[in-house]
Chain A
């Protein structure tokens, strides 16, 4: 195998750590992440002559891994029983309802207040611990839709196809995930810090 055509096995394997980090943040399941990374590396080695060096090796590997992650999320959704998630979803729904009055307006005491200095926040290591904990408190199916949309950047149309749900169902799940996350971050991070209401 020459250097300018195809990719060497060593170079492919050298990307394993990077690929694992990529997978773990999107799947939140160390064993599954490791499996998918290994599948990706094996698939890449088998197809290495197809890698023409147009994109970087890493980009090519990530595109293979990304498809595997989406397939895994699809399979996992089928396994998660709709009923168990439903009761969790209902409690999340009432948690959201409680933030609004009878006219559908924010209750005065629960009205969102400005989050100070988002740029500095995203540089703060402690913030990420809080963010991660908050993400863990979103019900699994709801969290999956959020990850597909906001982390993987999929369109609603594609998420509907991947998870086999309707567009309106998808919007509802996204709304719930965002409400839960913003509430959690507000409570555990932003509240008590100086606000800049503008």
Chain B
């Protein structure tokens, strides 16, 4: 459901359930933070490679 929450609007009830669960589950709390970092990384990844002067991530230039 944490993963789902990154893609759609959760209902108030669903959000509350997650909040309550995160209060007692450090595993899911860290998991949730890691998904945010992963999203940030995916966006930065594309930006970095597109920026001029950045290294091409893959072999084969035109």
Contact = CB atoms under 8 A, between A and B. Distances in A.
Contacts of A122: 40-41, 44
A178 B44 contact: no
A47 interface: no
Interface of B: 3-4, 6-8, 25-28, 30-31, 33-35, 37-46, 48-52, 54-62
Nearest to B55: A125
B50 A182 contact: no
Given A122-B41, A151-B43, A24 B49 contact: yes
A153 B46 CA distance: 11
Interface stretch (A1-9, A78-86, A113-121): A113-121
Interface in A68-117: 105-106, 111-115
Interface residues of A, number: 46
A153 B25 CA distance: 29
A146 B39 CA distance: 10
A155 B7 CA distance: 7
B43 A112 contact: no
B30 A151 contact: no
Contacts of B45: 25, 128, 131-132, 151
A54 interface: no
Given A105-B25, A118-B37, A182 B31 contact: yes
A112 B54 CA distance: 32
Which 4 A-B pairs rank lowest in CB-CB distance, beginning with the nearest? A30-B60, A106-B27, A150-B42, A111-B27
A137 to B, nearest CB: 14
A182 B34 CA distance: 7
A114 B30 contact: yes
A82 B48 CA distance: 32
Contact of A113 (B7, B30, B42): B30
Contacts of B55: 125
A181 B38 contact: yes
